[in-house]
A and B are shown apart, each in its own frame.
Chain A
């Protein structure tokens, strides 16, 4: 009996199992119902009582040994099999991925959002107004009475004698003040489409985009306007200097133009800034008393500033676009604007 046990043990140790199928066969032939270990165990009943205990524990030990070995081997074989499968499933990871279309904003909208973010953080409300506007708000209440030389009647798309496509976003100033009478402070910006009777070329467009801003409160000065504008242009163009130049708008007095130091050459002078070192980005000024009075504000108590950005130009400057028509052509081969603005 003992010899038999030794034989089985030796025989098992000589086995060379190379596959999971083989392993299963071996398992059945040793541990199965009719397996060699089972057979040995069944023979125990014929053995003397003295040796049963010893033999029994020897057989169980062998059984444990075989089971353990087979389990280990199985794990190893399974791992090898999986590895070979993974090796088999290897692909060319350098081939191009399946590209999911990325929607991009129009570049003007990108600039608008950026400006809106600054102004909202300063407590401004972003408002809007109709593009089909009345002469009263687009001109007359902005201190541009009929016959005023700055009225641009020739350059305005009229619909009737008194209705037009707005030539500026400034009428939103009037609408805001009329709607908020006695509710100061007013802090609004209004981005929007505007129209002029210009023939389209690289630098002119019959449709363009402006952002109007208005702040009305007590004791407002040009210095406040400069502080506000400074923040905005730094946000948009990085660490640039800004300056005011005297200018003229019928609805502000004093009026200024806002220049920034050229962000391309740093103010040394280049093609972009026409060798001046400065680029004009906005018109602004202190709200004209006629405008405030017309909207029902007491000018002995209230004053304010207003400003207007030409967003087409700003967008072109920011992204290096040389032709305004690019902004309205929507060439889908341009995918730059789907990117984050780093």
Chain B
């Protein structure tokens, strides 16, 4: 909303106040003045007369002007094409600061002293583009402040909160706010007019409850012409284009009262106005010459048969005011705001008018705005105004008296406000109230639809008293431990563990494309799809983080990042049996080298590196000896020979593997696990166990197996065949040939209560060797 401060001055006196200071006061009181324009500091800026202008000896376009500024003359260099002898101009003397921040100083331009600057309106921020310096009429007095010869209006651009759109989308509403901030009185505009002896001889019928109030009034013999200058100027300053006196007056009143009006050509309408809900499929051609198809959700004004206007949204072409219009029916009405909103959104016809209908209108202005229109039409369009008007009124105004006590106000604001302060503020707000023993019974005015409960009054008092007067203090509460809920703690622990291993945390978008959601699906989970996405790249909520991390990989690969070690922990969502489910995933991606030397050889990581990462993580989380890896050949986007499911307590929690070469040519490894599934298995508690005091014994053995034997099976069997003194088994060497596979194992024996003898270790060791050899038909190597 753009506010002309000159216009505001009609209602509340502000012409004696600096507009920037005022804007700050208003903003601090709660109505945000986002931008102030046109406010100029005229210190050291005067009207001057060019006495002489000669060509600058070192320039083709510069002129050396001798300028009279009243009591003295100055030599000023000017480059404007219209700088010439005899004109009266704006002179900025040294010391002046222009609105664009330029400080005027005495300077030397190509060898000649310039003692100021001749200004264009552009340089003063008064127009967007100037062709040359501004020329005054001859009657401008040299040496005076140029302000009085310029049409200067400071414009406020308001950034309104939704609760203040009811009142501050109008100059009168904003003027009330200004008057409250300044504590000044308010004058309402003139609304009187001469009543002619004819009546509004039309039949008004309203057949829907969605019309709350409807006035129709006839004016005759309008003369369509240009609006007076002040109306044109004010409309322009408030951001609307002047068209002709009649159209401009309806816009002027909308900007003045916030009440949109509609003018019908009375001769095109006929003698009936019937307001009703549209029939499904009913058509109207609107002012913009578009055919609109309506539904029974849209309110229409009809001539008894055909629609002539979509209520609150746009008029019909069949009843519009044009250059031949003589007689007008003025509509001043309030429609159901939700209906207007729905219709305007549906038809994509959002206008200044529909915006105001949508936020709600002051029922006390419906008639006032109508009268004001008559006043202006009589004055500026030579109209004759009917002696009466037609009205349908469905509003039952109930007086809402809000009770609030001084104690309640002070308790909520947390500062001592005196009774007299409250009285003063209520007076400034021009709220009606009765007070009794520091209790206030306040009647909310109809122009402030946002005021309805006690807390609203407290806020009004607080904001005008000044929140800067609140002294900060901490609440006194029962002691309570602060903490993370366990799920967040778990996530944060895993996150810092991953960072400590050299992985960087990513933050990616939850919305992905349909294509990605299908391509990277590995669980039987139904995607959640948006009803109205904004782009085809973001239509589905991801069920896993795989495509997101691949995107990050590709982004960085394109920027020549060789080594990529990233992870993300995020909630993902899916549908199961028509219910929406959440799952917290950890996904990691690794490519390249985790350790890099500039001049020494370091190795690229492989599957076993990333497997080590997940094993470290699982052991950190307390799942030692409770996890295993099982080959999975069925994940489409993964290398089927280098991919495994990860199981904890025999429940699948995720997978690890290498990306399929069709997805990624380079060696890229990923894992993803569900932290929610994982944390369902409780990790082991920390309990101290002292290391054995007795020495351990190591025994190594190597077998030739046939090709398909996997290490885990053999290790499990070794444990099974071994005595309880066998503490640990690892594979320390692997050698694969075309048709055989040799695995070397290192077995560690140790007892907690004695030093082991060679005999008991060898007995167990040999027993294991023979049983393994037998079970796998394996041969001992190097014998």
Residues of chain A touching chain B, judged by Cβ–Cβ distance below 8 Å, are 95-106, 108-109, 113, 116, 119-128, 130-132, 147-150, 154, 157-160, 163, 165, 185, 187, 193, 195, 197-199, 206-207, 215, 217, 219-224, 226-231, 242-248, 250, 253-256, 286, 288-289, 303, 327-333, 338
Contact (A230, B472) CB under 8 Å given A221-B412, A223-B415:
yes
Check A286 against B412 for contact (C-beta < 8 Å). yes
Interface string of B399-438 (1 = CB under 8 A from A): 0000000000001111100000000000000000000000
Check A98 against B505 for contact (C-beta < 8 Å). no
Check A224 against B341 for contact (C-beta < 8 Å). no
Residues of chain B within 8 A of A223, CB atoms compared? 413-415, 470-473
Q: Is residue B71 contacting chain A, with contact meaning CB distance below 8 A?
A: no
Q: Give the docked Cα–Cα distance between A147 and B210 (Å).
A: 14
Q: Is residue B771 contacting chain A, with contact meaning CB distance below 8 A?
A: no
Contact (A157, B530) CB under 8 Å given A222-B412, A243-B468, A286-B412:
yes
Dominant secondary structure of chain B at its interface with chain A = mixed
Q: Is residue B623 contacting chain A, with contact meaning CB distance below 8 A?
A: no
A305 vs chain B, min Cβ distance (A): 9
Q: Is residue B504 contacting chain A, with contact meaning CB distance below 8 A?
A: yes
Contact (A105, B510) CB under 8 Å given A158-B530, A227-B472, A331-B555:
no
Q: Is residue B599 contacting chain A, with contact meaning CB distance below 8 A?
A: yes
Residues of chain B within 8 A of A244, CB atoms compared? 467-468, 470
User: Across chains A and B, which 3 residue pairs bring their CB atoms closest together, nearest first?
Assistant: A223-B414, A221-B414, A246-B30
Q: Is residue B321 contacting chain A, with contact meaning CB distance below 8 A?
A: no
Residues of chain B within 8 A of A219, CB atoms compared? 411
Residues of chain A within 8 A of B504, CB atoms compared? 103-105, 330, 332, 338
Q: Is residue B358 contacting chain A, with contact meaning CB distance below 8 A?
A: yes
Check B559 against A124 for contact (C-beta < 8 Å). no
Q: Give the docked Cα–Cα distance between A250 and B530 (Å).
A: 26
From B472, B488, B499, B599, residue with most partner A Cβ within 10 Å:
B472
Check B358 against A149 for contact (C-beta < 8 Å). yes
Q: Is residue B322 contacting chain A, with contact meaning CB distance below 8 A?
A: no
Q: Among the listed B29, B467, B495, B571, which residue makes an inter-chain contact with A243, where contact means beta carbons less than 8 Å apart? A: B467
23 A-B pairs in the complex with CB atoms less than 8 angstroms apart: A98-B595, A98-B596, A98-B597, A98-B600, A108-B507, A122-B482, A132-B580, A148-B162, A149-B337, A158-B532, A159-B531, A187-B477, A187-B482, A206-B509, A221-B415, A228-B474, A244-B468, A245-B28, A245-B32, A246-B29, A330-B556, A331-B555, A332-B561
Residues of chain B within 8 A of A228, CB atoms compared? 474-475
Q: Is residue B573 contacting chain A, with contact meaning CB distance below 8 A?
A: yes
Q: Give the docked Cα–Cα distance between A132 and B602 (Å).
A: 45
Q: Give the docked Cα–Cα distance between A207 and B163 (Å).
A: 26
B173 vs chain A, min Cβ distance (A): 15
Q: Among the listed B164, B341, B556, B571, which residue makes an inter-chain contact with A248, where contact means beta carbons less than 8 Å apart? A: B164
Check A160 against B531 for contact (C-beta < 8 Å). yes
B42 vs chain A, min Cβ distance (A): 21
Interface string of B590-601 (1 = CB under 8 A from A): 000011111110
Q: Is residue B616 contacting chain A, with contact meaning CB distance below 8 A?
A: no
From B28, B467, B534, B567, residue with most partner A Cβ within 10 Å:
B467
Q: Give the docked Cα–Cα distance between A108 and B533 (Å).
A: 25
Q: Give the docked Cα–Cα distance between A124 and B27 (Å).
A: 33
Q: Is residue B275 contacting chain A, with contact meaning CB distance below 8 A?
A: no
Residues of chain B within 8 A of A331, CB atoms compared? 555-556, 559
Check B534 against A147 for contact (C-beta < 8 Å). no
Contact (A248, B163) CB under 8 Å given A101-B595, A159-B531:
yes
B101 vs chain A, min Cβ distance (A): 10
From B345, B470, B552, residue with most partner A Cβ within 10 Å:
B470
Residues of chain A within 8 A of B508, CB atoms compared? 328, 330
Number of A-B contacts (CB under 8 A): 261
Q: Give the docked Cα–Cα distance between A197 and B337 (Å).
A: 24
Contact (A123, B412) CB under 8 Å given A109-B507, A286-B455:
no
B266 vs chain A, min Cβ distance (A): 34
Residues of chain B touching chain A, judged by Cβ–Cβ distance below 8 Å, are 27-30, 32, 161-165, 337-338, 341, 345, 358-359, 411-415, 453-456, 458-459, 462-463, 467-468, 470-475, 477-485, 487-488, 492, 495, 498-511, 528-535, 538, 541, 552, 555-556, 559, 561, 563-567, 570-571, 573, 580, 582, 594-600, 602
Check B487 against A128 for contact (C-beta < 8 Å). yes
Residues of chain A within 8 A of B28, CB atoms compared? 245-246
Q: Give the docked Cα–Cα distance between A106 and B414 (Å).
A: 38
Closest to B461 in A: A254
Q: Among the listed B507, B511, B596, which residue makes an inter-chain contact with A106, where contact means beta carbons less than 8 Å apart? A: B507
A301 vs chain B, min Cβ distance (A): 12
From B510, B573, B582, residue with most partner A Cβ within 10 Å:
B510
Closest to A223 in B: B414
Check A254 against B502 for contact (C-beta < 8 Å). no
Check A131 against B462 for contact (C-beta < 8 Å). no
Contact (A215, B510) CB under 8 Å given A101-B563, A105-B495, A130-B571:
no
From B414, B561, B599, residue with most partner A Cβ within 10 Å:
B414
Q: Give the docked Cα–Cα distance between A198 and B538 (Å).
A: 12
Check A187 against B161 for contact (C-beta < 8 Å). no
Closest to B30 in A: A246
Closest to A152 in B: B162
Q: Give the docked Cα–Cα distance between A132 and B527 (Å).
A: 12
Contact (A288, B455) CB under 8 Å given A99-B595, A123-B479, A127-B485:
yes
Check B597 against A224 for contact (C-beta < 8 Å). no
Q: Among the listed A116, A193, A195, A332, which residue makes an inter-chain contact with B484, where contact means beta carbons less than 8 Å apart? A: A116
From A101, A221, A245, A255, residue with most partner B Cβ within 10 Å:
A101
Q: Among the listed A103, A150, A231, which residue makes an inter-chain contact with B505, where contact means beta carbons less than 8 Å apart? A: A103
From A120, A130, A242, A254, residue with most partner B Cβ within 10 Å:
A254
B760 vs chain A, min Cβ distance (A): 44
Check A246 against B534 for contact (C-beta < 8 Å). no
Residues of chain A within 8 A of B161, CB atoms compared? 247-248
A178 vs chain B, min Cβ distance (A): 16
B335 vs chain A, min Cβ distance (A): 14
Q: Among the listed B337, B477, B482, B532, which residue makes an inter-chain contact with A119, where contact means beta carbons less than 8 Å apart? A: B482
Contact (A96, B528) CB under 8 Å given A128-B487, A244-B470:
no
A319 vs chain B, min Cβ distance (A): 14
Q: Give the docked Cα–Cα distance between A121 and B480 (Å).
A: 10
A212 vs chain B, min Cβ distance (A): 14
A179 vs chain B, min Cβ distance (A): 11
Check A197 against B412 for contact (C-beta < 8 Å). no
Check B412 against A303 for contact (C-beta < 8 Å). yes
Check B27 against A104 for contact (C-beta < 8 Å). no
